[in-house]
Amino acid sequence: MIDERLLRSEERVVLTLRDLYRRHGYACFKMSKFEEYDLYGQNKDFLVSDSVITFTDTDGKLMALKPDVTLSIVKNHRDGTEQRVYYDENVYRISKSTHNYRELLQTGLEAMGRLSEFDLTEVAELAAQSLAAVSPDAVLTLSDLGVLNAALAPVESGEQRAALLGCLQRKNAHGISELCRTFGLGTGIGERLALLAQSGTTEIPDALWRQFADGPAAEALTRLERIAERVRKSTPVRITFDFSLVSDMNYYNGIVFRGYLRGIPAPVLRGGQYDKLMQKLGKSDGAIGFAVYLDLLERLTETDPYDADVLLLYAPDAPVEAVRAEAEALRAAGKSVCARVNEPEGMRFREILRAEGGGKND
């Protein structure tokens, strides 16, 4: 049995999540650290960061250190088969804060095949349970891009759409109104988008139901509400609806979600339905998945202020067996023991004991 105290927080979470995913019939997907660069070059917008570490392989092929896992998994999917896989892999991305490449541990899962509402619910539920495995003080925000699509339908220009989406994902309602005025778009579009920007509550606001009373958006809202209800029953995580979630609409469609943990300033979980990516890669199956960014969990780790429970000081001429026996006795009592002749510099101990096993010590 492994002593959990020996594990780093992300290692502990990985073990818990592996067990969670395995119990839901997901198989472990192990992959190579490298991938042909073309896969990322052709789908740059799908990546969180578009910078990739590349190198030329011995056969002249341009290779990349994986910046993402989903693309590698999807690429290998055989259409018409049902695949449920999870992974925990290192990926290599530029850190926004340091502007340098970092190796990041990422875990997550992907469900591919002919997906039903059961599958979508299960993945949303697993996303919530993944957050709960770290801390129950978590929020999973859900959206359906069908609603956003309906709100943006009258906007034909790609540039205008991009500008509006930029404001929406920042919940910048005043920016949306300003853009609608500048672009000469009807006030109705601005009002709808502003409503989406201001969402983020545990209930779908009445105003939103009124704005999207019929058609695919209404169906999307109804389905999302059903899924949220089911997820709420199985997890302590707070479930909210936030229609300002914007994932690249060239790849994502349908349900999208993001997970937050109290004390961590950025989302630790991102995911959603990405049927459009499947289509881009020549597949007709549907797909949904999410990733948990384990590097962010470091912030939740409480550092032990001590290097060991006991510093056992012994005299240089103390009988070895006596000191060993004394240290073992302390360890048997559940304490970590560091036995030294002198107090080591820069280390802290809960208590300092002098070995009684003889010898001279001052």
Partner 1 sequence: MTEPVRVALPKGRLGEKVLGLFTEAGFPCPEALADTRKLIFENPDKNVCFFWVKPSDVAIYVERGAADIGVAGKDILLEYEPDVFELLDLGTGVCRLAVAGPKEFRDSPERTLRVATKFSHVATEYYRRLGRDIDIIHLNGSIELAPLLGLSDVIVDIVETGKTLKENGLEVFETIVPVSARLIANPSAYQFKQTPITEITNALKEIVS
Q: Which residues in this chain contact partner 1 in the complex, by CB under 8 A? A: 96, 137, 139, 141, 167, 170-172, 174-175, 200-201, 238, 240, 260-267
Single-letter amino acid, residue 269: L
Q: Which is nearer to partner 1, 168 or 311 (CB)?
A: 168
Two tokens at 283? 């597949």
CB of 7 to partner 1, least distance (A): 25
CB of 355 to partner 1, least distance (A): 46
CB of 201 to partner 1, least distance (A): 8
Q: Which is nearer to partner 1, 90 or 172 (CB)?
A: 172
Nearest-angstrom CA–CA distance, 339 and 111: 52
Q: Which is nearer to partner 1, 129 or 141 (CB)?
A: 141
CB of 79 to partner 1, least distance (A): 36
CB of 171 to partner 1, least distance (A): 4
Q: Which is nearer to partner 1, 70 or 240 (CB)?
A: 240
Q: Which is nearer to partner 1, 166 or 359 (CB)?
A: 166
Q: Which is nearer to partner 1, 38 or 178 (CB)?
A: 178
